[in-house]
Amino acid sequence: MNDTPSPPSLPTRGGGGGGGGGSRQPTRTDPQDRAQLAESPVSMRRVARLFHPHARTVAVVTAIIAAISVISMAQPFLLRAVIDDALPHQDVRLLLTAVGGMLAVTVVSQLLGVVQTWLTTTVGQRVMHGLRTDVFRHLQRQSVAFFTRTRSGEVQSRLTHDISGMQSVITSTATSIASNLTTAVATAIAMAALSPRLSLLSLLVIPPAVLMTRKVALLRRDITAQRQRRLADLHSQVEEGLTVSGATLIKTLGAGAATADRFAATSTDLIDLELRSQLAGRWRMATMQIIFAAIPALIYLAAGLPATSGGMTIGTLIAFTTLQAGIFRPLMGLLDVGAQWVTSMALFSRIFGYLDLPVEVAPPVEPVAVQHDRLRGEVRFEDVSFSHDPGARTLTNAVDHVSLLVPAGTTLALVGETGSGKSSLAGLLARLHDPQSGRVTIDGIDLRDLDPADLARIVGVVSQDTYLVHGSIRDNLLLAAPGATDDELWQALAAAQVAPLVASLPEGLATIVGARGHRFSGGEKQRLAIARTLLRNPRVLVLDEATSALDNETERELQVAIDRLMAGRTSVTIAHRLSTIRDAEQIAVLDHGRVTELGDHDGLLARGGRYARLVEARESSARAALAA
């Protein structure tokens, strides 16, 4: 039955799909998959809902798989007719009919296989597309706290590898069950129809042969998995030790010898694993060859003995051995169904785990309609408290019962030691978090009642952690204003004091900024980010250490532009440098999330409190730096 097409399969984490004879890698259930399902069970009804829109296509695929298996069974019977009747009796008509039938079976099976591949791939890709976009949209709605506590690599893995691996439910697991089951049943029936006696012999010989083959294959698979892990370790050591950052670190720590020894140890392990893998593979092939030689030999022996032959013809014998050789693949496939199914369900469990995450900063069901041209920009914090870990046993608020009023068009400067709650308070204004108590309003509207798109138009943020996407300068600016013209882009760049730099570049606005904007200095990236924010023309500005990466001269130039652009806008500024906050109408001094002092620069200095001590400490540091 070697002409029977295998169901299309994609590689999964536990092993591949169907394959021929002894080349197949069986799957063994991953303990992590079982643990995942034990922790987060998957409802089959929920999985079935994903495929409900494609139920008709799935039914057609199942019918095609069954049809391929049944049609392929005609091959050995046609072969028997050729050998037993057409050739001995020189029956040309029968010979042409049988040969034509054999060709037709192959052509029809292959055509049906192409249709099956097209349908299963289409369904798989559509289900994957739906899941991928649903997860992406859902994760976009998560608060910044989620991304703080979750590794970015884990998010990427679930969006790419896990969802891609789930296609195996259709193109490998589900189709292999249908294909292997129908093929095994059809082959067994065909074998029984050809020779009941030899079929009984096969029932005694084939099961232990299949189990022995699987045992040897699993041994090699485990060794191969170990070898792959050590290869991954080797690659990681190369990346860590032979890159600019890694080489610099190793040289400055004097860790060259230890790093080389660790690399040598990993390489030595690979020698042993490769040897074991090759020997296991050779033993596997030897076992398979012995089995494939022994079973037909036993069948030939049984067919040649008068007591067991039952008058079997040569054609029947050849047809039977052909069927017997082809039954290994579906039987091995059925043995792997359990592990494949657990792997597939574990993938669904991980994806559903993300889809079921509660949205901590949820958009309003009925957002308040906003007339942007009438917004004044008055900001108010009303007894606001916020904790990054509200479920902690010992609750420590990053913002603790803060009440502030920032009149429209004025500036509030937030100062305090590191960890005093400045960035957390500013993050509440941008609704990167929601307070556990109290509320934040703009013109009396609770931020939780604003559509996220409206809030993004109202509040513009430039943080100390500047992020530029891997694209051109134009691409990065258009993120803020997709419909902006090049003239408007240049105006924003000029306001941010970065237009001369961009104009000096050979490709101007088309210049690629590189991953995270690595081709620009920290100050240049921050000015590009400021230009991007200003394109939105927000009513409220949040500047979180926006000039922290700039030298004194550049900071003074940029501060002039920022002061000009802040005119008429409500601004909340976080800065350590006094030059940034000296002219603010209000200065709030924070300590452990609480506002301990509030006033203007002169008034707070005259009070002689915490603000005055902060100013004195920074001025002393500045004098010491100048003296040095």
239 and 186 within one domain: no
- What size, in residues, is the chain? 628
Mean pLDDT of the chain, nearest integer? 78
296: nearest Cα among 257, 256, 335, 323: 323
Q: Does residue 101 form part of some domain?
A: yes
Check whether 500 has a pLDDT greater than 70.
Answer: yes
Residue closest to 230 by CA, chosen among 271, 190, 262, 270:
270
- 185 and 225 inside one domain: no
Supply the pLDDT for residue 311.
64
Minimal CA–CA distance to 416: which of 571, 615, 625, 621?
615
pTM for this entry: 0.62
pLDDT of residue 92: 87
* Residue 554 pLDDT exceeds 90: no
Which of 242-256, 411-425, 454-468 shows the lowest per-residue confidence on average (mean pLDDT)? 242-256
CA atoms of 413 and 218, how far apart (whole Å): 65
The token pair at 72 is 């392929």
**How many domains is the chain built from?**
3
Domain annotation covers residue 538: yes
Q: 219 and 171, same structural domain?
A: no
Residue 610's domain is classified under what CATH number? 3.40.50.300
- The CA-based angle 67-69-71, given to 5 degrees, is 65
Residue of 6, 323, 3, 2 whose CA lies nearest to 187: 323
pLDDT tens for each residue of 117-129: 898 888 888 888 8
Query: Which of 196-200, 220-224, 461-465 shows the lowest mean pLDDT across its residues?
Result: 220-224
pLDDT tops 70 at residue 401: yes
Residue 22: pLDDT over 60? no
**What is the percent of the chain with per-residue pLDDT over 70, rounded to a whole number?**
74
pLDDT at 203: 67
Do 416 and 550 share a structural domain? yes
pLDDT category of residue 4 using cuts at 50, 70 and 90 = very low
Of 354 and 565, the structure prediction assigns the larger pLDDT to: 354
Q: Are residues 275 and 381 in the same domain?
A: no
Percentage of residues of the chain with pLDDT beyond 90? 12
**pLDDT band for position 425 (cuts 50, 70, 90):** very high
Q: How confident is the model at residue 340 (pLDDT cuts 50, 70, 90)?
A: low
The pLDDT of residue 384 is 93
Q: Which residue has the higher pLDDT, 329 or 528?
A: 528
Considering the domain boundaries, does residue 305 fall inside one?
Answer: yes
Question: Is 415 part of any domain?
Answer: yes
**Residue 214, SS3 per DSSP:** helix
For 182, other C-beta atoms within 10 Å of its C-beta total 20
Lowest average pLDDT, out of 256-260, 480-484, 518-522, 622-626, goes to 622-626
Q: Does 260 lie in the same domain as 186?
A: no
428 and 526 belong to one structural domain: yes
* pLDDT, mean of residues 597-622: 85
Dist CA 80 CA 432 (whole Å): 75
621's tokens: 């540091």
Contact between 167 and 10 under an 8 Å Cβ cutoff? The reply is yes
Q: Is the pLDDT of residue 131 over 80?
A: yes
Query: How much is the pLDDT for 10?
Result: 31
Question: Would you say residue 366 lies in a domain?
Answer: no
The verdict on residue 224 lying in a domain is yes
Tokens of 281: 């593979």
Confidence grade of residue 24 (pLDDT, cut at 50, 70, 90): very low
Neighbours of 80 (CB within 10 A): 22
- Give the 3-state secondary structure of residue 279: helix
12 and 49: one domain?
Answer: yes
CATH of the domain at 48: 1.20.1560.10
Residue 319: which pLDDT band, with cuts at 50, 70 and 90? confident
Q: Which domain holds residue 62?
A: 1-17+25-195+333-360
Based on the domain organization, do 298 and 214 belong to the same domain?
yes
H or E element: which one contains 561? Answer: helix 552-566
Question: Looking at per-residue confidence, does 220 or 77 come out higher?
Answer: 77
| 230 lies in the same domain as 356 | no
Q: 205 and 82, same structural domain?
A: no
Of the listed ranges 90-104, 133-147, 549-563, the least confidently predicted one is: 549-563
Q: Which residue has the higher pLDDT, 3 or 578?
A: 578
**Are both 380 and 472 inside the same structural domain?**
yes
| Whole-angstrom distance, CA of residue 513 vs CA of residue 105 | 58
Quick check: is 325 in a domain? no
CA atoms within 13 A on the CB side of 32: 4
Q: Is residue 326 part of a domain?
A: no
Position 75 scores a pLDDT of: 83
CA dihedral 344, 349, 355, 360 (to 10 degrees): -160
Cα–Cα nearest to 550, from 530, 573, 533, 566: 530
Across residues 338-366, what is the average pLDDT?
78
DSSP conformational letter for 364: P
